[in-house]
């Protein structure tokens, strides 16, 4: 029987799943791919924090694994929530691609005054860089966002550079340094989630890249201590054990940051605890903001 892998139906998700399936096929593993639609794909007209966050892209696939409809699923690892259901295992993390953000522009850089993003982190970081910029909400897959840039709705949009590389897209713009514009935890990494089944784990573990796993798990340890998700302006980036983490105010006017070398997960967790103490009021303000938005919806 083939190994059944689930995926979202976006072009990027399909390319990432094809990459996994092709590698497995080269190892002699027969693979079948199943497309599963998620609520996050349907509700593209409102900000992510108003429809449940990045976890929406993961839950439908998690549920399909637990029901036995698929054996595994491929995700952008940054979309996977820190808290995971029992019975699931992040079995493989592929070698990381670029972790950086990319500012794609439709005009001269000095004329960029309207920027689109659905990310609270990216919004805060852009405002920190230039408080005069107007940041507007932008949802949809990469192609949808690029069309809105070309149509003139925005002067610039912020995308993950890794996604552009995987799609083989070349857009005018600038790579944003991950040391300055610290990316969301796990950006640029692809993960394979499966049932917590020994045979599946053995089959899929050949895809795992140990150095990437060490770095991204350090990032997740920090994120867990901060208690934040896509609702909060948090950037966490670890490369070869060098960890940078920051929490920003919603308007980008203040940043709390830690930067140091970490030898293991516990050292990363200690960094997260220190940052959580320094940024307690910023984290609370972000939670209050989202809580207020939830009340408005009711």
Domain holding 117: CATH number? 3.40.190.10
In this structure, is residue 145 part of a structural domain? yes
Query: Which residues on adjacent β-strands are paired with residue 239?
Result: 242
As a whole number, mean pLDDT of residues 222-228 equals 89
| Interatomic CA distance for residues 38 and 209, integer angstroms | 28
Phi, psi for 119 (deg, rounded to 5):
-95, 130
Residue pair 21/33 in contact (Cβ under 8 Å)? The answer is yes
CA dihedral 22, 24, 29, 32 (to 10 degrees): -50
Q: What is the pLDDT of residues 102-133, one digit of tens each?
A: 999 999 999 999 999 989 999 999 999 999 99
Tokens of 278: 């320094």
Nearest to 185 by CA among 232, 231, 223: 223
In this structure, is residue 290 part of a structural domain? no
- Structurally, the chain folds into a number of domains equal to 1
Residue pair 155/114 in contact (Cβ under 8 Å)? The answer is yes
Tokens 């593993």 correspond to what residue?
29
In this structure, is residue 134 part of a structural domain? yes
pLDDT value at 134 more than 60 = yes
Nearest to 192 by CA among 82, 99, 71, 83: 71
Phi, psi for 174 (deg, rounded to 5):
-140, 135
As a whole number, mean pLDDT of residues 143-166 equals 96
Q: Assign residue 87 a region: left if phi > 0, alpha if psi is -120 to 50, beta otherwise?
A: left
Q: What is the pLDDT of residues 156-178, one digit of tens each?
A: 999 999 999 999 999 999 999 99
C-alpha distance from residue 122 to each of 33, 94, 152, 157 (Å):
33, 25, 20, 10
In this structure, is residue 61 part of a structural domain? no
The pLDDT-based confidence of 50 (bands split at 50, 70, 90) is very low
| Interatomic CA distance for residues 145 and 102, integer angstroms | 13
As a whole number, mean pLDDT of residues 217-244 equals 91
Q: What is the pTM of this model?
A: 0.89
In this structure, is residue 166 part of a structural domain? yes
Nearest to 231 by CA among 121, 91, 140, 130: 121
In this structure, is residue 223 part of a structural domain? no
Q: What is the pLDDT of residues 232-271, one digit of tens each?
A: 899 999 999 999 999 999 999 999 999 999 999 999 999 9
Q: Greater confidence, 52 or 25?
A: 25
Nearest to 91 by CA among 191, 199, 214, 220: 191
Q: Which residues are catalytic?
A: 79
In this structure, is residue 197 part of a structural domain? no
Domain that holds residue 139: 101-176
């Amino acid at each position: 029987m083939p190994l059944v892998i689930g995926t979202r139906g976006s072009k990027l998700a399909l390319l990432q799943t094809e990459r996994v399936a092709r590698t497995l096929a080269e190892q002699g593993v027969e693979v079948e791919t199943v497309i599963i639609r998620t609520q996050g794909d349907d509700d593209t007209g409102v900000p992510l924090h108003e429809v449940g966050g990045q976890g929406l892209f993961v839950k439908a696939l998690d549920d399909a694994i637990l029901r036995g409809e698929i054996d595994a699923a491929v995700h952008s690892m940054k979309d996977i929530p820190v808290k995971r259901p029992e019975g699931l295992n992040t079995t493989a993390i592929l070698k990381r691609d670029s972790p950086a953000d990319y500012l794609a522009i439709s005009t001269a850089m000095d004329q960029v005054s309207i920027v689109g993003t659905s990310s609270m982190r990216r919004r805060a970081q852009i405002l920190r860089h230039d408080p005069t910029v107007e940041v507007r909400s932008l949802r949809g897959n990469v192609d949808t966002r690029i069309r809105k840039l070309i149509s003139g709705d925005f002067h610039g949009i912020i995308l993950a550079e890794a996604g552009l590389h995987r799609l083989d897209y070349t857009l005018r713009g600038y790579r944003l340094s991950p040391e300055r514009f610290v990316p969301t935890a796990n950006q640029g990494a692809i993960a394979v989630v499966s049932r917590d089944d020994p045979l599946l784990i053995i089959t899929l573990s050949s895809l795992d890249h140990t150095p990437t796993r060490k770095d991204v798990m350090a990032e997740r340890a920090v994120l867990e201590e901060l208690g934040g998700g896509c609702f909060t302006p948090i950037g966490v980036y670890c490369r070869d054990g060098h960890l940078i983490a920051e929490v920003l105010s919603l308007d980008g006017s203040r940043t709390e940051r830690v930067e140091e070398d970490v030898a293991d997960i516990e050292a990363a967790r200690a960094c997260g605890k220190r940052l959580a103490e320094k940024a307690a009021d910023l984290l609370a303000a972000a939670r209050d903001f989202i809580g207020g938005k939830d009340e408005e919806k009711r």
